[in-house]
Amino acid sequence: MKPRRILVALTAVALLAAAGCSRSGSSGEESSATGGNSGSSSSSASADFGDLKGVCHSGKASGAPAQGVTAGEIKVGVFTDMGFTKNPELVDAAKVFTSWCNDNGGINGRKISYNVRDAKLMEVRQRMLESCRDDFALVGGSAALDGLGVKDRLSCLLPDFPAQVDQIANAGSDLQVGGGVTAGGRYDPYTGFHQWLFKDAYPASASAIGLINGDSPVTKVMGTAYEEALPAQGATIVYDDLYPAAGVSDWTPYAQSIKTKGVKGLIFLGDFRSLAKLEDVLTGMDYKLDWIDTNSNAYNSQFIQLAGNSLAAQHNYADISGTAPLESNVPAMKQLKELFAKYAPGQDMTYPAVRAFGQWLLFAKSAASCGDQLTRKCLYDAGKGETAWTAGGLEAPTNMGDPNFIQKCFNAEQASPQGWSTPDFKPDNGPYRCNVEPYVYKTPGGKPVTLADAGKSLGDLK
């Protein structure tokens, strides 16, 4: 179960309906890129990032100790659904990081190149088999139906440093480092955020919580989890409904039901475009909720534009648990904005791109520690050795080596007609509030795939 952007699959389904199942403009071919700015020298940008020193640097590497690694190059894969969603954010992050890193000498002198593994929603296994054939590791990517490729990845012993994970089969699967999930989807990562909303900010709302959920396997898992977790935390669910994953032409019946049930706090599991339409109807009938959990899919400028005047009437919040806000003055975030302006001018620096960049940093630091003998085993062990990883200050500390680690920090963002800003959710550790004891599910919705499921063991990793 993914604590960030678990709903991307529903977004893709909605886009499929809007596009009439068209995939024009995308092919089955994979693109490859080597980061680097031809107009830059190795001294054009500092090799430090946030509190990480010398992330990338030159050296005299030799030999080819692993697939995808030569004396001069490290070849990795970046998963995306870009050919389907038309969203380039993860590829943008790859371009920015590799360009910056290679301008500073690469990893011990080896330049990083990346293959874009565009799953286009339904082609996860095809792209995974290609990655198994060519890549050293997967870095900074994500696919909505990522569970479809886990067994293949483990069969070929391919380490994964994902930007985010979606399906339970992949959440905390073996040979995976980071990605927002380190406890295999066994706990509710939104506990602190929701308790702040219905206990601290709007205590009267606890008696009237509503759930509206896209009818998709990905989001229905989350809806079922909330049906267990919220009542156990003191909330009463008075409305629980599904809507077609492809969206609806008229949101009036749903808005009327929300009003009739007297919902005060609404958790929306789905695409932010649909949420904007629902809010427009709610506002038009003059029904104002205490709060709406938009989910982090909505944490972007598009939602601000689409929701329009409704944002002045409705209180919209998103949980970006453990990630510095895009609009913050955290030094690492300021530096990342500068890198995007330099290496991807004109492209949006989004929340998933920030998460992806953090994973690129983790990969680079881990790979650099292996020196000349860069193997998959050394890379994986080094990544797991990061017990208080913060991505240079972009994220709340995470113990990458503890499979049962539970993130106790969260932070909230609020939408208004002027944009996103940080409400007073009583942070106690920099931009985060870390006094949370997340709810642990009594009935987990599944389990991640293991090496044993693929007929392998850690002893096979070389």
The pLDDT tens digits for 340-394 are 999 999 998 999 999 999 999 999 999 999 999 999 999 999 999 999 999 999 9
Q: Which residues pair with 419 in a beta bridge?
A: 416
Q: Residue 266 forms beta bridges with which residues?
A: 210, 292
**Separation between Cα atoms, residue 352 and residue 180, nearest integer Å:** 11
Residue 72 lies in a domain: yes
- Is 143 strand, coil or helix? coil
Q: What share of the chain is helix, strand, coil (3-state, %, to 5)?
A: 35, 15, 45
Asked if residue 172 is part of any domain, the answer here is yes
**DSSP H or E segment with residue 310:** helix 310-313
Torsional class of 397: left (φ above 0), alpha (ψ -120 to 50), beta (otherwise): beta
Residue 446 lies in a domain: no
The confidence score (pLDDT) of residue 37 equals 44
pLDDT at 219: 77
Q: Is the pLDDT of residue 293 over 80?
A: yes
- Pair 416, 273 in one domain: yes
Report the number of distinct structural domains present in the chain: 2
- 92 in a domain, yes or no? yes
Do residues 161 and 196 both lie within one domain? no
The Cα–Cα gap between 144 and 164 comes to: 10
* CATH number of the domain bearing residue 196: 3.40.50.2300
Q: Within a domain: residue 61?
A: yes
In a domain, 100, yes or no: yes
Bridge-partner residues for 449, per DSSP? none
With a cut of 80, say whether residue 45 has pLDDT above it: no
In a shared domain, residues 160 and 214: no
Do 130 and 267 lie in one domain? The reply is no
Q: pLDDT class for 187, splitting at 50, 70, 90? A: confident
C-alpha 135/C-alpha 133 separation (Å) is 6
**Domain membership of residue 225 as a residue range:** 191-320+408-421
Task: Please say whether the beta carbons of 68 and 76 come within 8 A.
Answer: yes
- Residue 432 placed within a domain: no
**Rounded-to-10 torsion of CA 221, 153, 133, 354:** 60
Residue 399's identity, in one-letter code, is N
The residues, ordered by sequence, that sit 6+ positions from 29 with a Cβ below 8 Å of its Cβ are: none
Mean model confidence pLDDT for the chain: 89
Q: Label residue 294 exposed, middle or buried (CB < 10 Å: 0-12, 13-18, 19+).
A: buried
What number is the average pLDDT over the span 327-338? 96
Question: Do residues 36 and 131 both lie within one domain?
Answer: yes
Between 32 and 166, the higher pLDDT residue: 166
Contact in structure between 373 and 152 (CB atoms under 8 Å): no
Average pLDDT over residues 278-298: 96
Provide the pLDDT for residue 363.
Answer: 98
pLDDT at 182: 55
Same domain, 399 and 412: no
Most confident of 9-13, 94-98, 212-216: 94-98
Least confident window among 12-16, 143-147, 255-259, 317-321: 12-16
Look at residue 176 and tell me whether its pLDDT is greater than 60: yes
Placement of tokens 């300021």 in the chain? 334
SS3 239: strand
Whether 75 and 93 map to the same domain: the answer is yes
Instruction: Output the six-digit token pair for 81.
Output: 């659904």
156 shares its domain with 264? no
pLDDT class for 183, splitting at 50, 70, 90? Answer: low
- Report whether pLDDT(25) > 70: no
Shared-domain flag, residues 78 and 55: yes
Give yes or no for residue 10 having a pLDDT over 50.
no
Confidence at residue 13, expressed as pLDDT on a 0 to 100 scale: 41
Same domain, residue pair 207 and 289: yes
Contacts of 35 (CB under 8 A, 6+ apart): 94, 95, 96, 97, 98, 99, 100, 101, 102, 111, 112, 113, 114, 343
Query: 329 Cβ partners below 8 Å, 6+ apart?
Result: none
Residue that is last in its domain, among 377, 403, 429: 403
Q: 173 and 199: one domain?
A: no
Q: What is the largest CA-CA distance in the chain?
A: 70
- Residue 71 within any structural domain of the chain: yes
> Which pLDDT belongs to residue 20?
29
Residues 332 and 401: their CA atoms lie apart, in Å, by: 23
> Using DSSP, how many helices (H) and how many strands (E) does the chain show?
14, 12
Instruction: Single out the residue in 349, 369, 403 at which a domain terminates.
Output: 403
- Same-domain check for residues 352 and 415: no
Rounded to 5°, angle at Cα 384 from 380 and 389: 125
User: What is residue 436's predicted lDDT score, i.e. its pLDDT?
Assistant: 87
